[in-house]
Amino acid sequence: MNSARLFVVPLMMALASPAIEADWPEFRGPRGDGHVSAPGDTKPIGLPLHWSETSNVKWKTEIPHRGWSTPVVLDGQVWLTTATVDGHDFFAIGLDAENGKILFNEKVFHSDNPEPLGNGASMNCYATPSPAIEPGRVYVHFGSFGTACLDTATGKVLWKRDDLPCRHYRGPSSSVVLFENLVILTMDGVNLQYHVALDKQTGRTVWRTDRSVVWNDEHIPGQMAKDGDLRKAHSTPLVVSVGGKPQMFSAGAKAAYAYDPRSGRELWKVQYNDWSVAPRPLYDQGLVFFVSGLTKRELLAVKPGGEGDVTGTHVAWKLGTRIGKYASPLLVDGLIYTAAEESFVTCLEAASGQVVWTERIDGKYAASPVYADGRLYFFDQQGKTTVLKPGRTFEVLATNTLDNGFMASPVVSGKAFYLRTRSHLYRIESAESGGR
């Protein structure tokens, strides 16, 4: 492998139009990394620093049933998914971004006998995977319960698939990824683990690739091994350009992988002894960053090259303390910020893995943070948002609270946050921009 530093840029950024750049097309935003603005863009957006139930709320709309999916925003619409608590019915909901009015509430799938989420599934529900949107179309996904493409002007279902098998056991989680003409889905269950790419126009299968790791959990005693928990994962892949060619980075149980997103061909993998990974990968300056899973919870920095099993040759560093197990990490100016479920935020150097600081900010974190207007926004399960100043010195800029807590990740469009709590969707905007 060439020892020169690989040039890594987000493929979505290269392909996105300026209009799409201003909105939130998929989980974690325009580049899949939680950044609101493009790298190098320091122009202030004007997002609020402070809010509450009675301040800087432009509108608040109750969302029926239950869903942890992150909304997507484009062309004056907000789309999200929800499902009945018992998992029998699955819905796509479209709202007017200006006033919060529900425009569409379409039941797209039904299940007569959904598998119960099981013990230990309090962090999940039947509508956790986030949709993806592009002009005229929104793609919603509920794991093996179904995937559909809807017309955003009419709410009409253009195509749907409900024949992609996977026993999720504790519910589906991985979100939709759009790449060129493909809708890429991740099915990491207890019985099957694979990626599948569907044609955007028709929904037909273009390619399918199974995970290649060799399972060795049969000797592990206990219910987790019996149920297949050690084979599951919940992460969403990230597509970037490496040396001018697309690579899709994907964290699964027992291994993280790179694939060619056009063909599904596996390029390389790094193995570890962990499972149930949720955070989305990151990239920066020739390194890809994976969280290994739920138990060991290591953050690994991997050089994105080579072929086959590169565990012994391409892992630059590992860190195993205070790593967030649900919220995806955030990378700003060479520093990674990770919000642990147990009230801590850790800042570390991306190049070396050296910890810069670890501080307690209270709360438990499932939602992934965002970076905007030179600030880091962290949203906890109790409804508190802690705003930090990025850098090598820990500094809290503000704390804000809404009712019912955050499981879905935040969204930014224009000067507004769109924040989904367990029960409502809010548009948060400063009074000068139209909030109240």
pLDDT at 21: 43
Place of tokens 């939709």: 176
pLDDT at 436: 72
pLDDT at 341: 73
Domain spans in the chain, listed from the N-terminal domain onward: 8-433
Beta-sheet pairing, 205-210 with 238-242: unpaired
Q: Per this entry, what is the length of the chain?
A: 436
Measure the CA angle with vertex 406, ends 36 and 229; round to 5°: 100
Question: DSSP secondary structure string, 141-154?
Answer: EBTBT-EEEEETTT
pLDDT at 40: 76
Cα R_g (the chain), whole angstroms: 20
Contact 167, 122 (CB under 8 A): no
Question: DSSP secondary structure string, 372-418?
Answer: ETTEEEEE-TTSEEEEE--SSS--EEEEEE-TT---SPPEEETTEEE
Within 192-285, residue ranges assigned H as helices are 223-227
pTM summary value: 0.93
SS3 assignment, position 35: strand
pLDDT at 42: 79
pLDDT at 252: 97
Q: Which amino acid is at 378?
A: F
Instruction: Tell me, letter by letter, the H, E, C secondary structure of 52-87.
Output: ECCECEEEEEECCCECCCCCEEECCEEEEEEECCCC
CA distance 68 to 371: 21
Per the structure block, which two tokens stand in for 229? Answer: 């928990």
SS3 assignment, position 20: helix
- Cα–Cα distances in angstroms (integers) from residue 363 to residues 378, 383, 388, 398, in the given order: 10, 9, 14, 15
Backbone angles phi, psi at 411, to 5 degrees: -135, 145
Ramachandran class of 406: left when φ > 0, alpha when ψ lies in -120 to 50, beta otherwise: beta
Q: Which amino acid is at 125?
A: C
pLDDT at 6: 38
Q: pLDDT means per 10 residues in the chain (436 residues)?
A: 38 41 86 90 90 98 98 98 97 98 98 83 89 98 98 98 94 97 97 97 98 75 61 96 95 97 98 96 96 94 95 97 95 96 92 97 94 97 97 98 97 97 97 75
Contacts of 432 (CB under 8 A, 6+ apart): none
Q: What DSSP designation does 12 have? A: H
pLDDT at 10: 46
pLDDT at 121: 58
Per the structure block, which two tokens stand in for 177? Answer: 């990824």
pLDDT at 120: 54
> C-alpha 152: how far from its chain's center?
22
Closest by Cα among 426, 385, 418 to 50:
385
Per the structure block, which two tokens stand in for 414? Answer: 């224009």
Strand ranges, E, within 118-252 = 132-134, 137-141, 147-151, 157-161, 177-179, 182-188, 193-199, 205-210, 238-242, 245-251
CATH architecture of 8-433: 7 Propeller (2.130)
CA distance 183 to 176: 7
